[in-house]
Structure 1
Amino acid sequence: MRTVFVAGATGYLGRYLCAEYKRRDWTVLALVRDKDRAADLACDRLIEAEATEPATLTGTMESVDLVVSALGITRQADGLGYRDVDYQANLNLLREAQRSEVPHFAYVHVLNADRMRGVPLVDAKADFVTELRRADLASTIIAPSGYFSDMADFLGMARAGRVWLFGDGRHRINPIDGADLAAATADAIDEGKQWLDVGGPESFSHTELAELAFSALGRPAKITRLPDWIRKAALAILPWVTPRKVHGPAQFFLTAFGMDMVGEKRGTRHLAGFFRRRIDSDMTGDDGR
């Protein structure tokens, strides 16, 4: 039986990766920071370590066939930044994989990274990808367009009564469900792909996303379009007037909102269903995944 080591296992995608590899009959090792918070993971063994501290990783990848890293931060905490986690922690994982002679390392990146240089989150990821592609082992880069969970912001605005868009709302995205992305990741690795730009089965304009959110709530759409110069001005101003934990993710999302984010269509799950589950979760207390 083959063994996979999943980093970022307790994150949105990491949980799906663990479940997908268990479904495929792999032995799943899940890297976690706190075992007590990861008891519900679909895995064979929890490995408690800090990827930012390379000494804690020593020996954790013995006899591992594949490392899949979805490790990264969107909202910075614990005094750690993108360079500490998205770059250095992943580099620590890569170095341990090399020491343990792991034959294959896969990493979850971001679509259109080459067009988003200068955004700290993207720069950290892209710099790690450069290191990975130079390394002496097989590698697969998965670059998703966006997650269903990211689209929950549209639902949140619709619940509040109005969705605010930049420009004409025509930029398109095909976000992907976590389970579909985990399956696409495993498929790409099995197929020996070196790189996969990937999204879900449906493509939406930003206007269509707003309309879908209102439709899921059973409300008429109320959309306000702001001039795109406001988005560009916010990109320039936010780093000067907000803390890093605010402007870091904002820079990424505002930049992504200024371009099409459409990858190869994969998966079967639909965003409308995700929105309905999120709405239902208000009553059940579930997370709506």
Structure 2
Amino acid sequence: MKRIFIAGATGYLGQFLCHEYRARDWHVTALVRRKSRHLDLAADRIVEAEATWPESLTGVMENMDVVVSALGITRQTDGVGYWDVDYQANVNLLDEALRSKVAHFAFVHVLNADRMEMVPLVAAKAAFVRKLRTAPIASTVIAPTGYFSDMADFLNMAKAGRVWLFGNGQHRINPIHGADLATAIFEAVARGADSADVGGPETFTQADLARLCFAVLDKPSRIIYLPDTLRRLALRSLPWIAPRRIAGPAQFFLTAGGMNMTAPPSGTRRLADHFRSLAEQAHRSPQRPAGGEP
């Protein structure tokens, strides 16, 4: 039986990766920060460690065939930032994989990273990718377009009555469900691909996304188009006026929102079905935010 070590196992994508590899009859080891909170993970072994502390990783990858890291943070909290986690914690994982003679290391990156290196989150990931590329280990870098879970921001705006877009709303994206992305990652690693840009089966403009949200909610479509100069002004101002836990993710989403985020299509799951599931969840539990994954 082949053995895989999954870092970032408790995140949106990580949980799907555990399910995917276990369904393929791999022995799954999941890295978590707090074992007691994640005993329901689809894993054969759960390892509690802090990837930011290299000493806590000693020996955890013995006899592993593959390491997949979906480790990263969106909001900088707990006194750690992007360079602590998206860069250094992944470097620590890579170092341990090399010591343990793991054959293959896969890393989940960001699409269009070369156009977004002014964004701290992306800069940290990109720096790790450069280090991974020079390491003596086979590697695969996966760059998804965007997760279904991220699209909940559009649904939340529509629920509030209006969707606000910058520019003319014609930038395109084909977001992907976490389960479909996990399958694409498995296949890319299995064929030994150096890299894989991955998107979902349907492409939308931002205006299309807004209209889809209103249709799912059975509400009249109300889209407000703001001048794109406001987006660019916000990008310049955020580091000075917002705390970093807000500025960091906002910089990423505002930057990505100003370009097309499309990649070769993969998977079968439809965004409309995801939105309907979120809307039904919210109807059953009004106090629950609409960002969870069905």
Q: SS of the residue aligned with 1:140?
A: strand
Task: Report the Cα offset of residue 284 of structure 1.
Answer: 4.3
Deviation at 1:75? 1.0
2:269 aligned partner, one-letter code: R
Q: Distance in 1 between matches of 2:45 and 2:70?
A: 18
- Residue 49 of structure 2 corresponds to 49
- Give the secondary structure class of the aligned counterpart of 1:265: coil
In the alignment, is the contact (CA less than 8 A) between 1:68 and 1:105 conserved in 2? yes
Is the 1:279–1:288 contact (alpha carbons within 8 Å) kept by the matching residues of 2? no
What's 1:276 paired with? Answer: 276
Q: Distance in 2 between matches of 1:173 and 1:288?
A: 19
Q: Which moved more, 1:165-174 or 1:277-286?
A: 277-286
Residue 100 (structure 1) aligns with: 100
The residue that corresponds to 1:235 in the other structure is 235
> 2: distance between equivalents of 1:233 and 1:288?
33
The normalised TM-score by structure 1 is 0.99
Alpha-carbon spacing, 1:190–1:276, altered in 2? closer, same or farther (3 Å): same
Which residue of the partner structure matches residue 183 of structure 2? 183
> AA paired with 2:113?
A
Residue of structure 2 equivalent to 1:156:
156
CA deviation profile, 1:244-265 (whole Å, cap 9, x unmatched):
0010000000000000000110
Task: State the partner residue of 1:114.
Answer: 114
- Is the 1:239–1:247 contact (alpha carbons within 8 Å) kept by the matching residues of 2? yes
Q: Please report the TM-score for the alignment, with normalisation by the length of structure 2.
A: 0.97
1:14 matched to 2:11: no
CA contact (8 A) 2:49 2:56 kept: yes
* Counterpart residue identity of residue 92, structure 2: N
User: Partners in 1 of 2:199 and 2:99 — Cα distance?
Assistant: 33
Give the residue type in structure 2 aligned to 1:45.
Answer: R
CA spacing shift, 1:283–1:36, aligned 2, 3 Å: farther
Gaps of 5+ in 1: none
2:72 maps to a residue whose letter is: G
SS at match of 1:75: coil
Q: Unaligned stretches of 5+ in structure 2?
A: none
**Amino acid of the structure 2 residue aligned with 1:255:** T
Measured in 2, the distance between the counterparts of 1:158 and 1:221 equals: 8
Alignment map for 1:114-263 (pairs within 5 Å): 114-263=114-263
Two-structure CA RMSD over aligned residues (Å): 0.8
Q: 2 CA distance for matches of 1:253 and 1:282?
A: 24
Q: How does 1:26-45 map to 2 (within 5 A)?
A: 26-45=26-45
Distance (whole Å) between structure 1 residues aligned to residue 46 and residue 143 of structure 2 = 26
Instruction: Report the 3-state secondary structure (helix = DSSP H, G, I; strand = E; otherwise coil) of the residue aligned with 1:142.
Output: strand
* 8 Å CA contact 1:171, 1:205 repeated in 2: yes
Following TM superposition, by how much is the alpha carbon of 1:276 offset from its aligned partner in structure 2, in angstroms? 0.5
AA in 2 matched with 1:221: S
Of the structure 1 ranges 212-221 and 51-60, higher mean CA displacement relative to structure 2 is found in 212-221
1:31 is paired with a residue whose SS is strand
**Structure-1 separation of matches of 2:181 and 2:220:** 31
Compute the displacement of 1:282 (Å). Answer: 1.7
Give % identity. 62
Q: Distance in 1 between matches of 2:117 and 2:91?
A: 19
Please tell me the residue identity of whatever aligns with 2:278. Answer: R
Distance 1:83 1:165 in 2: 30
Aligned residues: 289
SS of alignment partner, residue 264 of structure 1? coil
Whether the 8 Å CA contact 1:174–1:199 is kept in 2: the answer is: yes
Moved >6 Å (runs of 4+): none
Distance 1:263 1:27 in 2: 30
Q: Is the 8 A contact 1:280 1:288 kept in 2?
A: no
Q: What secondary structure sits across from 2:277 in the alignment?
A: helix
TM-superposed CA distance for 1:212, in Å, is 0.4
1:283 deviates by 3.9
Q: Deviations over 1:21-72 (max 9, x none)?
A: 0000000000000011111100001000000000000000000000000000
Give the deviation of 1:220 after TM superposition: 1.2
Measure how far apart 1:202 and its partner are. Answer: 0.3
**Does the 8 A contact of 2:149 with 2:293 survive in 1?**
no
CA distance in structure 1 between the aligned counterparts of 2:144 and 2:71, rounded to whole angstroms: 14
CA distance in 1, matches of 2:45, 2:283: 33
